[in-house]
Amino acid sequence: MNNAKKTETKSKYIKADSLLPKELLKEIQKYAQGQLIYIPKEKCDRKKWGVNSGGRKLINERNNEICRHFRDGTSVEVLADRYFLSAESIKRIVYKRKNRDNKIKEIRYI
């Protein structure tokens, strides 16, 4: 069963009849006979966007820097120009962090 043949097309796929039990294959054929289907990983097995590449870490560092500059008095417009983002994106970053920080403070006082 683990020796399923992979066929090269645009993406790799495995023939269902070499992988799945016959009973399960017959049940799936009731719904998707002769069609290509994608079976996603379970959510617990998925990694969040940017975890492997380090992109998430870089964006978090950038956002922390934006918030620090904003707290120090830099205007939204200046930050937007500096980071090549729209003013709305800067506001979203700043106020999302502000709300998160306030919730953390509330939890500490409870």
pLDDT in tens, 67-95: 999 999 999 999 999 999 999 999 999 98
The two three-digit tokens of residue 35, written as one number: 């069609």
Residue 37 in contact with residue 24, Cβ under 8 Å?
Answer: no
| Residue ranges per structural domain of the chain | 6-39, 55-109
pLDDT at 103: 53
User: Would you say the pTM of this structure is higher than 0.75?
Assistant: no
DSSP code at position 1? -
Residue 9 in contact with residue 1, Cβ under 8 Å?
Answer: no
E strand or H helix at 71, and its extent? helix 55-71
Distance CA 60, CA 82 (A): 16
Confidence of residue 7 (pLDDT cuts 50, 70, 90): very low
E strand or H helix at 102, and its extent? helix 87-109
